[in-house]
Amino acid sequence: MIRIKTAEDIRRMRTAGTVVARTIEDLRNSLIPGRTTTEDLDRLASRLLKERGAKSSFRGFRGYPKTICVAVNEEVVHGIPGKRVINAGDIVGVDVGAAMDGYHADAATTLAVGEVTERVVRFLDLSKQALMAGIEQAVPGNRIGDIGHAIQEFAEKHGYSVVRDLVGHGIGFTLHEEPQVPNYGNPGEGILLREGMTLAIEPMVNMGGPEVQTLSDGWTCVTRDGMVSAHFEHTVAITADGPDILTLLPEDAP
């Protein structure tokens, strides 16, 4: 069942989304190449969420053991923070979900650590643009397939692939709600988008092929070919005025 949100629901989700955005920004600013571990980021995120009156949407969800997900290089998503040191030249996906007063928001970004190659810079920029191409389609009257098609078409046009084994999702009263939001598809197909729907749109774009596998920890998803992957995500409300991104910092909102 798809749960339609009121204006008040969306306002409360935006409050959680602002906490997510500020936490991601603080994690970005804390990262010291060669010193920071993925566990350091998790501990900081745990403290920041508590200070901001929020709880992690991830900890305990289907047994997930940590506050955030951190994916390095060939890791796609769901990386469990631990002792791994983040080094210059790495790319790091940081995925944060926050719950406040019964409302959830979820966002992710992939960061270049120190100096990376121009090829990687371009890959990250275009992967983020693929997210925005999908968000542009999140308007009443379109269908889920329009979002996925826009993401897939943009990524593949630039020589990349989108992961098909994992998808975005509805969000709001719980972390994962209906509908699923694939990052591929055909325009005009799938569930009709209506005002008041709230979606976590999250392309996972691979520099190589789309195939992925899950490691023995049961969570960490990696590319099969060992090439790098990028993950960008926003929580978006569908409104009569167009897509409303709820996980932006207030100063970045249009």
Q: What is the Cα–Cα distance from 231 to 101, expressed in whole angstroms?
A: 27
pLDDT for 119: 97
Q: What is the mean pLDDT of residues 129-153?
A: 98
Sequence spans of domains, the chain: 7-248
pLDDT for 237: 98
pLDDT for 253: 61
- Checking if the pLDDT of 94 tops 80, the result is yes
Tens digit of each residue's pLDDT (9 = 90 or more) over 114-126: 999 999 999 999 9
Percent of the chain's residues with pLDDT above 90: 98
| CATH number 3.90.230.10 is the correct assignment for the domain at 7-248 | yes
Angle, vertex CA 164, rays to CA 128 and CA 37, nearest 5: 55
CA 123 to chain centre: 16
Q: What is the Cα–Cα distance from 237 to 138, expressed in whole angstroms?
A: 8
pLDDT for 252: 64
pLDDT for 250: 66
- Checking if the pLDDT of 15 tops 70, the result is yes
pLDDT for 224: 98
Segment holding 131, helix H or strand E: helix 118-136
pLDDT for 249: 81
Tokens encoding 166:
């994992």
Percent of the chain's residues with pLDDT above 70: 98
